A and B are shown apart, each in its own frame.
Chain A
């Protein structure tokens, strides 16, 4: 009898050998092809619809890939790297995918020639090390204190984005917000720039993009609690609380047994007294403005309004922290512990404005704000979302340059220069490794090539011209003008990219290629480590 011996669960599917390697290469290329048209100043947006019917319009690599569901495990890995790129440096999410896809397809020919993947990987690793050195050599230092210089850099980051039309405005906004939240740490001498926490982007549909601005302070989506309170205060004294101004029950379970009817009255009175005491604590310090993260009871509102204090309740913790940094106050957690130092006096103006249907609180004209709100206006929510993503990228670029003030010429110039130098070096190498090494150099040209493609110029002619230019010394900064498709000196065109972004792109792309090339076996439908057997979901099919 020749009954087959079943070793693995029949649900699992296994593929191995060359098929897997080529499959991985294909998956990587497919992902890269999806967002190829999103690179460069002539890039197009993509409109994505999620299963719920929501729409995302973007040309941000990470935002596009985040929405796509793929089956192939290697493709999943590709998508993840654009997230890595986004979290680490915030920009270059499209380039990293395109480059990683190109690195994989460069390896394809060697796999077909039966070269061992470990040899290719060793060559890639060597190439990565050399690339990092070359990039650092090619980079130039920049003076971050000069507004003009910073503008140029941020502008080239914005150049590829939707807000390109409003580039000047966006540049100013990005630079202003980043320099606002930058703190020089005296003890460590380290620059700390926390965009995530202290530079908040608020989107208010309506108006035009030109109305967007970086506030010298903070804006909240809140209104005063009591109509009788003042809605415009100049030079307010601001008190920040994170406790509630109402009667609170204790944590422990307490039951009340009342024997006399007067006791009931007494309890009510106590509650009232509590509120009164709390508000009196506040009133003692004569603030003009009270923010609390918790609630304010009607009674407390009345007391505060009577003392001519404006109160705003249920402020988010992050907003409260931002106000604290903008006006120089401290968040207090108990009213009987307020001190004079806790009151923030740095703000110049408090007012409530109405945009569309909603009221917004503005705390502006701060003397030395260390936090800010970026107010975006625009035609629709979808557009605002895209503008926000663009602005985030621009701010990340500004931050990266402030932390590491080294720049590289953009527009594919640096790729051409590195490729040229690596090709030179590969000539002096011995052994089979020189071929994958040279292939890496050639694949770097995918960036200028895609730029040319996207603006509709003749790819081959321009690339050859550019290559010829780079062959002679002193032309390292020549690249592609993404608008016209001509070759141009990037120094004159003022297209720059931060070194840290470029380095991260190369590192992530190469290491992902190295990871994927090492794989020679895919088993799908394997169980989870905890051993959840029997769920027998159909094995995901490879593309």
Chain B
């Protein structure tokens, strides 16, 4: 008879949580995730040290990286981690704030739900609020493209860096980032300028100090010349990019050659060596003096390069080689065969650069391809006390590069330091009163949630958060109600001394896109989690047969 009792109409081999419980649990999980990343927000935020199960250490300030490395188990918490990852992929920066906003939205929604407001009403309220907020921000809070000078772009980069390890050296790095982004700029077919920041090559080498990081106009490849006897520096380089081996030619698998005459054997052997030799001769004849290949170069063949005074570099990563080819105007050759079925190498396939040089950095050697002819390229070489520090610097630079790219492409920025959030919260509160449906409450809560950003900023800086936020809100209220004092809308937080100031004038700027994306993504994520009212967690697949322990638990032994 027991069996009937345990077998509910719907048998689920798992644990089922429903209704209010699951929502509260999800919210709790979300806020605990937010709590983890909270202290890394803002210019006075601190870093986290993550140690994985092998013992490798990562030190980071980047929200997405922290959450990626955490071993998160709760499903709702996982949604937030993915959210941070998405923000990272979409816009590259603002990963911490997106998690904070989403968690706060959830927390406030839960309170509403406890007041017996149906989640769907909350959801539609959030949707409306999000739409209105983004609209208001785009209309009123952006600083339009006309005013954007180099200064503004550098300021945006600085703002992004301020919370990172390179924050103290932001002067140096922000100019470096902006220069790098400008170096890789190109105009596509439609006449739109693009900044493919992926082609900024970032290399890390420990040693020296962070301040000695350098931006190289050109491309740096982490390889060395194949032979010590090769020249280490070539001016006026003609570069051949090859994607095949310069080794003894080998027949493809499974080909049998049957020779009648044993002397032919010797010929085959000789031919094997000569084919590659001829190939090299053809490439050299075309005038190449730097040969980069993804494959190997036989020691046997090195001598030809040495004699011709050419530089041969083997085992270059294909990714690197593609970019080198693009920058220097070379064609990446995967074979020398032409349409006639013969082998040839035309000098038009060569790329050009002013200088190719091998330089010693730390204990390693790198090859620099400086001032390529076709497109300017940029490589940043980061120096720092340890590999851990270099890794974190790379992540910070990546964020800053993303920010610069967004600013340059979208040509619109908003003031940072909690300005936008405070302004939006005031606006939404006023807007809420004009909505005469149940969404009103949700919109008001949305407005309230946005304040988490200035609040956290102030808390991290060990300032009086309540007072600062109140002050900030008062300024923004004045700005929105009193048309004469509209300039107050640029008011934001200054965190080292704990006062409010005009952040537009202070140069604390962020690209509009990052702000709007983070509000939109956070809303979407909050809605996704809010819609959940049932959580079924399946037990892992059970093995055949019950163990004694299982039987005991099921109460079968009580009979």
Could you tell me which A residues sit within 8 Å of B by CB distance? 1, 5-9, 11-12, 14, 16, 20, 71, 73-74, 76-77, 80-81, 83-84, 87-88, 114, 116-119, 121-122, 125, 128, 185, 187-188, 192, 196-197, 242-243, 248-257, 263, 266-267, 270, 274, 293, 317, 321, 324, 330-334, 337, 504, 507-512, 514-515, 518-529, 532-533, 535-537, 539-540
Q: Is the CB of B262 within 8 A of A5?
A: no
Of the A-B pairs whose beta carbons lie under 8 Å apart in the complex, a sample of 13, sorted by A's number, is A7-B33, A73-B55, A77-B388, A84-B207, A88-B207, A192-B232, A254-B257, A274-B266, A324-B229, A519-B46, A522-B51, A527-B70, A540-B55
Q: Which residues of chain B from 286 to 309 have a CB within 8 Å of any chain A CB?
A: 299-303, 306
**Nearest CB in chain A: distance from B273 CB, A:** 8
Interfacial chain A residues near B248, Cβ < 8 Å: 251
Interfacial chain B residues near A266, Cβ < 8 Å: 262-263
Q: Is the CB of A254 within 8 A of B268?
A: yes
Known: A5-B74, A125-B169, A528-B54. A331 touches B48 (CB 8 A): no
**Nearest CB in chain A: distance from B195 CB, A:** 26
Question: Does B68 interact with chain A (Cβ within 8 Å)?
Answer: yes
Q: A88-B206, A253-B256 known; 5 other A-B pairs, CB under 8 Å? A: A9-B72, A73-B49, A116-B462, A251-B250, A333-B301
Q: Is the CB of A521 within 8 A of B49?
A: yes
Interfacial chain B residues near A274, Cβ < 8 Å: 266
Q: Is the CB of B262 within 8 A of A256?
A: yes
Counting chain B residues whose Cβ lies within 8 A of the other chain, the interface size class is 35 or more
Interfacial chain A residues near B496, Cβ < 8 Å: 119
Question: Does B362 interact with chain A (Cβ within 8 Å)?
Answer: yes
- Nearest residue (CB) in B for A243 is B300
Q: Is the CB of A524 within 8 A of B257?
A: no
Residue in B55, B56, B169, B303 whose CB lies within 8 Å of A333 = B303
**Nearest CB in chain A: distance from B40 CB, A:** 8
Bound state CA distance, A83 and B363, in angstroms? 11
Q: Name A's interface SS.
A: mixed
Q: Which residues of chain B from 51 to 86 have a CB within 8 Å of any chain A CB?
A: 51-57, 59, 61, 68-74, 77
7 A-B pairs closest in CB distance: A88-B207, A507-B209, A9-B71, A252-B251, A520-B46, A87-B363, A524-B51
Q: Is the CB of B53 within 8 A of A527?
A: yes
Q: Is the CB of A6 within 8 A of B74?
A: yes
Bound state CA distance, A122 and B171, in angstroms? 13
Q: Is the CB of A253 within 8 A of B255?
A: yes
Centre residue among A11, A192, A507 by max chain B CB count within 10 A: A507
Interfacial chain A residues near B363, Cβ < 8 Å: 87-88, 196
**Nearest CB in chain B: distance from A259 CB, A:** 9
Question: Does B25 interact with chain A (Cβ within 8 Å)?
Answer: yes
Q: Is the CB of B25 within 8 A of A518?
A: no
**Nearest CB in chain A: distance from B392 CB, A:** 8
Interfacial chain A residues near B272, Cβ < 8 Å: 250-252
Interfacial chain A residues near B209, Cβ < 8 Å: 128, 507-508, 510-511
Q: Is the CB of A116 within 8 A of B250?
A: no
Residue in A270, A293, A529 whose CB lies within 8 Å of B68 = A529
Question: Does B203 interact with chain A (Cβ within 8 Å)?
Answer: no
Interfacial chain B residues near A5, Cβ < 8 Å: 25, 28-29, 32, 74
Residue in B48, B169, B256 whose CB lies within 8 Å of A519 = B48
Q: Is the CB of B71 within 8 A of A331?
A: no
Could you tell me which B residues sit within 8 Å of A by CB distance? 21, 25, 28-29, 32-33, 36, 39, 43-44, 46-57, 59, 61, 68-74, 77, 165, 167-169, 206-210, 228-229, 232-233, 235, 248-251, 255-259, 262-263, 265-266, 268-269, 272-273, 299-303, 306, 362-363, 384-389, 392, 461-462, 496
- Nearest residue (CB) in B for A254 is B257
Bound state CA distance, A11 and B52, in angstroms? 11
Interfacial chain A residues near B51, Cβ < 8 Å: 73, 522-526, 540
Residue in B70, B73, B208, B306 whose CB lies within 8 Å of A526 = B70
Bound state CA distance, A527 and B67, in angstroms? 10
Interfacial chain A residues near B69, Cβ < 8 Å: 523, 526-527, 529
Interfacial chain A residues near B259, Cβ < 8 Å: 254, 256
Q: Is the CB of B388 within 8 A of A515?
A: yes
Q: Is the CB of A74 within 8 A of B49?
A: yes
Bound state CA distance, A71 and B33, in angstroms? 26
Interfacial chain B residues near A270, Cβ < 8 Å: 262-263, 265-266
Bound state CA distance, A81 and B269, in angstroms? 52
**Nearest CB in chain B: distance from A40 CB, A:** 24
Bound state CA distance, A245 and B555, in angstroms? 82
**Nearest CB in chain A: distance from B275 CB, A:** 11
**Nearest CB in chain A: distance from B304 CB, A:** 9
Bound state CA distance, A526 and B503, in angstroms? 38
Interfacial chain A residues near B256, Cβ < 8 Å: 253, 255
Bound state CA distance, A321 and B269, in angstroms? 28
Q: Is the CB of A515 within 8 A of B165?
A: yes
Residue in A84, A196, A523 whose CB lies within 8 Å of B70 = A523
Q: Is the CB of A88 within 8 A of B362?
A: yes
Q: Is the CB of A250 within 8 A of B268?
A: yes
Bound state CA distance, A507 and B209, in angstroms? 6
Q: Is the CB of A330 within 8 A of B48?
A: no
Q: Is the CB of B74 within 8 A of A263?
A: no
Residue in B44, B72, B206, B208 whose CB lies within 8 Å of A8 = B72
Bound state CA distance, A266 and B77, in angstroms? 77
Interfacial chain B residues near A523, Cβ < 8 Å: 36, 48-51, 69-70
**Nearest CB in chain A: distance from B271 CB, A:** 9
Bound state CA distance, A6 and B74, in angstroms? 6
